[in-house]
Structure 1
């Protein structure tokens, strides 16, 4: 049995070079053979047969071979090697053998025994005998692994195998997988690629065992016929649930644009669909995304434009939960967007479209869509005076649906501002006159009037100071300002009483008389790194019953380059309670990583009560305190619904040639049933391991499933 460490090969190459320069006695093959040379301590020749003994070195354009003894027929190209044979084939492959026969003209031969090493993947194969071909090695009674050659952590023993040096694909028959020396499981056939370059072939599969869905196998098939596009097809099977196929087409059509199209279909088994009371026994969907940072600007100078497309369609929420083993979502609303803008000098034109699919509904005929919105904006510019500025913003919005009232809205905003400073630029003054106009035309059998108009004019007065000062160890900037808003003229006519989802279909934007105080400050260290930021705002409303609006306070502490703390608080002066509170903590260094965010919003303090309170906690932590071991945990908890949307904890062990994870997961996913959108809670223990370069597999050691009502 031959046992060699992986690093042995690089040392061997250096030895071969030095050996060729320091041999005591050298002999070269006859001059008529130009592509093969033999070097050795002792050489004899009998006709066309060369016999070399002692530190034999044979090299050709393809091979560099060392051995204890060699016979080489330079007429036929046959070479027979004995003892400590090392063969280097190009820069990728190396092998070690005790006895080898090889024809240098045909690259065919046999080797007994053989140790083969593929450098890029660190994969090695050890076998009793091998058949050598120009493009393949065929081995028998073999072992393959990428771990240390002595006592590998994992290995696969197989009866027959074939490694293709061109495609870098290994096919093995009757493999038995071992953890150390313990057999784990058997397969009649297995294959994988050792190539990590972008090329057509099979990608590492996803394999899962256990749980209510049975055995899970997903095999990605990758096609890369050109540099600017590729296609990935992912068929899958879940033995106790169903089968499906998903695919992703990715493309780059210019230096500044790219996109992808993903589509999929999953068919449930009838027994599973009936037992789970699913509303559909098939789930399908498609997503088209495209991002282009330059469109017309490639042909016309002086303009900037961009296009962003994200179109989603699915028949139910379970489509997301069947894409792969880890895919899931808790959002019942699916949004599609198309945005385009073009900008030149001071002018901006944008076209936007939004389409919504509410998966909790059987039909989306009454779901309000925004198709499209047109925006024109003229940026702030001087007008008549150098310190008199104006801007214009116009929007046309089309709210449409098949059932229910529709609307088309025109909006115009035209602020005009006069700016000047006093007290040697310590005090800045801004006086603004603002005009807001909107007109709405209703359609689709509206019965309370066909249109509505609204006009609003208000004045804004601002006084503020913006100061900065450097100290010995830090730099401080501070902003203090007061803004006073006074409504001037307000007129409303026509119909405005239509509602949608407990809100006004077209909500009016009333400006109330108020005075707002704002304070903002930043601290920087001497390297210019932000250390602390603080913003506080308080508004007073003259005509409200609750005169004092929420006190808004936002603070961010950059305690170190590793630790960040943020807190945003809104305090209701009317109810003497917090109406919004968000706390976030983030820490990261080479050993520890942690993040926590808590968000609370009380809807009762808002003027348009849209629903229940929102209270949510997310948490994640990870440590690599122990060498090659990763401990981690995640939590997503909805406090108001008293539901863990998901949480997990586990351990991951890293090795050079493999890693494994033991994870406990508790996940709640929505599913569409005949009675609406319910949810399924799955909890269990999963063992996942990755063998490099083969791929990953998972096994559900334990799983418990229960139904929940959303």
Structure 2
């Protein structure tokens, strides 16, 4: 979290051009435990004391260059001039010049921020400045600087304040501030954060100003009022509380009121948008030292999606109209796992959420593989219960139980690995018609499943690489299932049952090959290839080939390229493919992902095609230009495209982005909205910056 005026002071360096009307040098004497002479350089270590008629200096290490007349001081540095304390720090340097008759004090901080002042005085640990300027850029010709007539740093409060401030870009003044103040440490303090200032052709002038309140170490509060001249006003609040070292509670609430003209023009459903989010995460809640547990809650209650779109946290995100709330808890030991999960879904585009199916709750238990009688004979268990509920429509309580037994052994000097498995599988569906006129019989599905697998792992070294192979096959034979009641597409084709299917499994034989090429020391993966083919058996014993799956990834010096595809033998054509390509050479980069599916009589897929690509390059050391686009090829629609310019010169940062995007909106017809937005973020490091957003247009799609 960056404050608008942020400064970190941990180490101070001071450089003096000593007053010298008679052009005579300041004469020093040095006392130390160890003194080393190397030509013109003297190094003193161990309780060093330097003194002259003007200065009294102590440190643990001093390096003095007689030729350049520069002294560097390290560790527990204390500098007094005319019996007045000027610096207590871990590092300082003093440069004595004979050509100036005016004293100039130069204070440099660990984060590269420095202050140069014509006059400095101190009282105890407080420092006072006159005719000064500060920056974090190059001392000789800073890109930016703030000049001020007077100022003071109060050590007890770590508070720096300055008066009559002028912000300069190079030598050009651009902003005047009569008063400027900020904390000089990294502790959390109450104060203003970075504002967002913007303009939209539809919303007019925009101003979002966060205010941070930090009354204690374990909690804080952020208030974010926002004003949109042509649209309305709102307030978002964010509360954080750490109730233990292993937990964090975050609560946010927001409200926004629309102007009547704006709501009518854009056909928005609601005049008021509001919502509440509760996020809580904690580990080590009940677990003992050897166990592990965790609790996670993310509860989202909102009236419509505009509540999230208007949030200052929305930034450059585009939110979908479906919102999920979840609560999870798990407890894990070396032998067992227990979890409970709650899911609540809200479709903000629907007029009512009564028919949306919720999972309240899901209970899950898993027994990790455990030896039974011998080490080669193992068993595990997995069971779950899910309550599918809603206000209107069929409700179901689903219970699943899986109890597998494994027996594994090796043959031919461990070249061949054999695994035998017997699995008991049971599913029960308890239907509740929930005021429906039609009744459904509770479903029961029981099956005994057998499988045998054989695999081998091989490795062979070559002169310049290593080759590994995993080759295997698995035969899966389920018994005829014992089926009772109504099961979708098994005993009943009623579409009401579609959300609650029981997937039948048939006999199949699968083969796979996975191979990799490594450098000789296994440090670098060069190529990975996986291929899998299944033979499917129908209930009458006839066979057919399942989809052929092939995946290959090649890693090279400048990136990688990968492809994954599925080939359907019944249709004699590809039905799905995904390709990714990444390249980075010098200051240039290019990344792309292409995804494609095809609807065929046997693919059970919908046709789709999209591509996401990003390209850019860096230049002149500090600059980077890039372009990113998400394009729906099938519908010929650009979901999002953006142009970005980044300048990072260390002492200042600029990020400029132009985005053309589709966002979900709570309109009467639930259509998405296309908008052109310009984002601008400027930081003068480390004192802070400003964010700006300009929306060029906002049109319904």
Q: Common fold, TM-score beyond 0.5? A: yes
Contact (CA 8 Å) 1:113, 1:130: kept in 2 or not? no
Contact (CA 8 Å) 1:204, 1:694: kept in 2 or not? no
Matches within 5 A, 1:178-257: 178-184=168-174, 191=180, 193=182, 195-202=184-191, 204-212=193-201, 213-257=203-247
Cα distance change, pair 315–114 in 1 and its aligned pair in 2 (3 A)? farther
Note if 1:704 corresponds to 2:696: yes
Cα distance change, pair 588–295 in 1 and its aligned pair in 2 (3 A)? farther
Which of 470, 474, 479 aligns to 1:483? It is 474
SS state of the match for residue 307, structure 2? helix
Q: What is the CA-CA distance between 1:141 and the residue it aligns to?
A: 8.2
Whole-angstrom distance in 1 between the partners of 2:301 and 2:408: 49
Whole-angstrom distance in 2 between the partners of 1:115 and 1:332: 59
SS state of the match for residue 296, structure 1? coil
Cα distance change, pair 463–142 in 1 and its aligned pair in 2 (3 A)? closer
Match of 2:582 in 1: 586
Note if 1:615 corresponds to 2:600: no
Q: What is the CA-CA distance between 1:456 and the residue it aligns to?
A: 2.4
Match of 1:509 in 2: 503
Contact (CA 8 Å) 1:217, 1:237: kept in 2 or not? yes
After superposition, give the CA deviation of every residue in 1:85-111 in whole Å (9 maximum; x if it has no partner): xx8343399999xxxxxxxxxxxxxxx
Cα distance change, pair 205–288 in 1 and its aligned pair in 2 (3 A)? same
Cα distance change, pair 631–607 in 1 and its aligned pair in 2 (3 A)? closer
Whole-angstrom distance in 1 between the partners of 2:295 and 2:419: 36
- Which segments of 5 or more consecutive residues in structure 2 lack a partner in the other structure? 1-10, 32-49, 56-68, 70-75, 95-101
Whole-angstrom distance in 2 between the partners of 1:244 and 1:331: 22
Note if 1:88 corresponds to 2:77: no
Match of 2:659 in 1: 665
Whole-angstrom distance in 1 between the partners of 2:130 and 2:207: 28
More displaced 10-residue stretch of structure 1: 10-19 or 512-521: 10-19
Match of 2:6 in 1: none
Cα distance change, pair 9–426 in 1 and its aligned pair in 2 (3 A)? closer
Matches within 5 A, 1:153-552: 153-156=143-146, 166-168=156-158, 177-184=167-174, 191=180, 193=182, 195-202=184-191, 204-212=193-201, 213-298=203-288, 302-324=290-312, 326-443=315-432, 444-446=434-436, 447-497=438-488, 504-529=498-523, 530-543=525-538, 547-552=544-549
Match of 1:31 in 2: none
More displaced 10-residue stretch of structure 1: 512-521 or 338-347: 338-347
After superposition, give the CA deviation of every residue in 1:662-705 in whole Å (9 maximum; x if it has no partner): 432212211111222x22222255544222234233456x7531
Cα distance change, pair 494–245 in 1 and its aligned pair in 2 (3 A)? same
Match of 1:51 in 2: none
After superposition, give the CA deviation of every residue in 1:414-466 in whole Å (9 maximum; x if it has no partner): 22333333333322222322222111111113423241112223322222222
Match of 2:58 in 1: none
Whole-angstrom distance in 2 between the partners of 1:526 and 1:357: 53
Whole-angstrom distance in 1 between the partners of 2:91 and 2:398: 69
Q: What is the CA-CA distance between 1:217 and the residue it aligns to?
A: 3.1
Q: What is the CA-CA distance between 1:408 and the residue it aligns to?
A: 0.2
Q: What is the CA-CA distance between 1:129 and the residue it aligns to?
A: 9.0
Q: What is the CA-CA distance between 1:339 and the residue it aligns to?
A: 1.9
After superposition, give the CA deviation of every residue in 1:193-222 in whole Å (9 maximum; x if it has no partner): 253502213354133233233333333333
SS state of the match for residue 200, structure 1? coil
Contact (CA 8 Å) 2:104, 2:118: kept in 1 or not? yes
Contact (CA 8 Å) 2:204, 2:231: kept in 1 or not? yes
Which of 626, 636, 646 aligns to 1:632? It is 626
SS state of the match for residue 320, structure 1? helix
Cα distance change, pair 595–204 in 1 and its aligned pair in 2 (3 A)? farther
- Which segments of 5 or more consecutive residues in structure 1 lack a partner in the other structure? 1-6, 24-36, 43-54, 56-60, 73-78, 80-86, 97-111
